[in-house]
Amino acid sequence: MTALATPRTPAPIGPIPTTMRALYKHHAGTALRLDPARTVPTPGPRDVLIRVTHAGICGTDRHIWEWDAWAASRIPVGIVTGHEFVGTIAAVGPAVTRYHPGQRVSAEGHISPGTGFNARTGSAHIADGMVILGVDRDGCFAEYVCIPEENVWPVHPSIPDHIAAVLDPLGNAVHTVMEAGVSAKTVLITGVGIIGLMAVTVAKAAGASRIFVTDIDPRRLALARRLGAVEAYDTREQHDKSWIDHLRAQTHNGVDVLVEMSGHPAAINDGFAALRPGGTAALLGIPSKPLTFDLTTHVIFKGARVLGINGRKMFETWYQMEALLLSGRLELAEIITHQLPMAQFARGFELMQSGEGIKVVLEVG
């Protein structure tokens, strides 16, 4: 990746204003609104206040924008949205010891209460009582965001802003691929949206022997090939599922690893059909409702290992992601398709909805 070249000089920290521009959910319906004078949050004793410079628009933000059934059931009206960002620390609470104003940082957006069983046994990413930035509490589509010190991730100076703004979804891809284990293995990635495409470059960098992908969008399939997939199957064209036979013929009767990124029932069933006996499936895509699945054939008799993947491991995934980025082997330039000033947020959502854009990054301040 060429984009790792230029170290960035942090912008100087000025006085913190009392109000800021912020995108918030103004009603129980579609779209977001820009509030020109939202109150800047005050950091608690162990919080860090970050001046946001760049923020990524996520699929989750699209659900919130479109106000689907999930968003309507989960999102409090009035909340500032957004959870993927990079910025500069503007102020720290009096008990913060590890960070200081001026540092360039991103953050883990899953905020764990830190006291329960999972939080204390290395699984904070699936802890009870998890609160998510921009979903359950005010997020980063704003000039300032406040988060606990434990969630701060200092960004290496050679990682540019537009990439530092999307560490959250890149971390999803890294967590899924690393958990499955792909080194010297054949891998099928079902669904090459943003995170699926990231998974292609991550799997390649992590030493996958051959990568196969499926999707229904020819442009994304073509991009997956450029990122390293040896076969990119258009499942809308291949109704007869002949691609599964084609894939089996090139492997040991199926791939070693299935990375499921679509959440689509047909893709999940077909993905398991293309998994070899004794293979591993790592599932990140979220089906919109319960689905019919042949557990007997696909898991039990196949002796498959099935891994549910949620978020990013705190902070093992973040260290792995940094190592992969610094290796220069991740190809993200074609995945991050647009950068727009925050004022053009509506255009950003439109680009994602139309499929013209893949990852869109907002320039916040």
**Residue written as tokens 């919130």?**
64
> Which residue is catalytic, options 6, 9, 26, 63?
63
* Minimum separation from the CB atom of position 223 to Zn ion (A): 19
We find the least distance from the C-beta atom of residue 60 to Zn ion, in angstroms, to be 5
- Contact present, 352 and 331 (Cβ < 8 Å): no
Q: Determine the Cα–Cα distance for residues 112 and 130; give it in Å rounded to an integer.
A: 5
Q: Which residue, 209 or 339, is less far from Zn ion as judged by CB?
A: 339
Q: Which is nearer to Zn ion, 87 or 169 (CB)?
A: 169
User: What are the strands, taking DSSP E only, across 103-172?
Assistant: 104-107, 110-111, 131-132, 144-148, 152-154
* Residue with smallest beta-carbon separation from Zn ion: 58
Taking the complex as a whole, how short is the minimal distance between the CB of residue 125 and Zn ion, in angstroms?
14
- Closer residue to Zn ion (CB): 75 or 244: 75
DSSP at 112: -
Helix (H, G, I), strand (E, B) or coil at 109: coil
Based on CB atoms, which residue is closest to Zn ion, 22 or 96? 22
CB of 58: closest distance to Zn ion in angstroms?
3
Q: Which is nearer to Zn ion, 132 or 230 (CB)?
A: 132
- The HSE-up count of residue 235 (CA atoms within 13 Å, CB side) is 23
The closest of 43, 305, 311, 279 to 172, measured between CA atoms, is 311
The DSSP H or E segment spanning 170 is helix 167-180
Most distant CA pair in the chain: distance in Å? 64
Which spans of this chain sit near Zn ion (rule: CB under 5 A)?
58, 84, 168-169
Are residues 183 and 91 in contact, defined by beta-carbon separation less than 8 angstroms?
no
Instruction: Identify whether 186 is a catalytic site residue.
Output: no
Q: What is the DSSP-derived secondary structure letter of residue 364?
A: -
Q: Which amino acid is at 233?
A: Y
Separation CA 101–CA 91 (nearest Å): 5
Q: Which of 60, 88, 214, 251 is catalytic?
A: 60
63 part of the active site: yes
Q: How far is the CB of 169 from Zn ion (least distance, A)?
A: 5
- Which residues are marked as active site? 60, 63
